[in-house]
Structures are given as structure tokens and as C-alpha cells.
Amino acid sequence: MKRFNYRLETVLTYKTQILDNLKTEHAAILQNVNRKQEEIRGLNRELLGFENDFDQAKTAGAAIEHYRLFDMCIGRMEEIIDEEKERLKELKQQENEKKQQVISAKVDTSKFEKLKDKKYSEYQKTVLKADEMFIEEFVSNAALRLRHQNRGS
């Protein structure tokens, strides 16, 4: 009996490569999302530091220029954080789109894998039947030879 050969193996290989590439791209985007989230956390810590310094300056009493400087720093930091949050939102959108592509590719690939499994199962059944027929034929031929030998003796 010939070896199992899945006719769509090249298609399955191609689909698997696409899936692997999409997974890699998704992981890179997800890494960017995580970096951006960490960056925003750092900016928030920095903002908190400015706010704490401002509170200390208020209690210690400072010149109006210091108050304005703190106010400008805090305002600018809040703007930067808002901008970074917008970038994070865009990155999350990209990540979600790539995730959907990965899911779609996985479904597509799994169809070919299931078809391959089905064909392999059919092949195994065919091999099993062929083996059974061979054994049956072998046993009946052996029985015929044994009868001929017994008649001939």
C-alpha cells in the first residue's frame, strides 16, 4: 500500500506560515501596547512627583513664579499623558485588528488540519481493510494448500 499523501499539504503549509507570521506580528504589537502602558505609568508617577512637589511648595510658601512653573509643568505633563493615552488607544486598536486576523487565520488553518486528519483516518481504514483482506487471503490460501497436501498424501 502506498504512503499517506495529503494533496493539500502545500496549502496547509502556506496557511500555517501565514498564521505564524500573524502571531509574530500580533506579539510585536502586544509588546508595543505593554511598553506604552508602562510609559504612561511612568509619566503618571512623574506627574505625581510634580504634584507632591507643588503641594510642598504651597505649604512652605514660594514665590508666584514657582507656582506658575509647577502649574505649567503639571499642565504639560497632563497633556503628554493624554497624547500617550491616545497613542495607546490606537495601538490597542491595531492589536485588536491583528488579533482578529490571527483568529481568522487559525480557523482557516484548522479547517485544512481537520480535513487532513479526516483523510488520514480514511487512509488508515483503507490500510486496515487491505491488511485484513491480505490476511484473509493468506489464511484461505494456506488452508487450500493444506487440503491439497492432505488429499495428495
| pLDDT tens column, 100-144 | 999 999 999 999 899 989 988 988 898 899 888 888 888 888 778
Of residues 144 and 38, the one with the higher pLDDT is 38
> In this predicted structure, what is the pLDDT of residue 28?
97
Is pLDDT above 90 for 53?
no
Across residues 44-56, what is the average pLDDT? 90
pLDDT digits (tens, 9 = 90+) for 55-97: 888 888 878 888 888 889 899 999 999 999 999 999 999 999 9
HEC per residue, 45-101: HHHHHHHHHHHHHHHHCCCHHHHHHHHHHHHHHHHHHHHHHHHHHHHHHHHHHHHHH
47 burial level (CB within 10 Å; 0-12, 13-18, 19+): middle
pTM above 0.75, yes or no: no
Residue 12: C-alpha distances to residues 2, 15, 18, 110, 150 (Å): 21, 5, 10, 9, 58
> In this predicted structure, what is the pLDDT of residue 1?
61
> In this predicted structure, what is the pLDDT of residue 153?
60
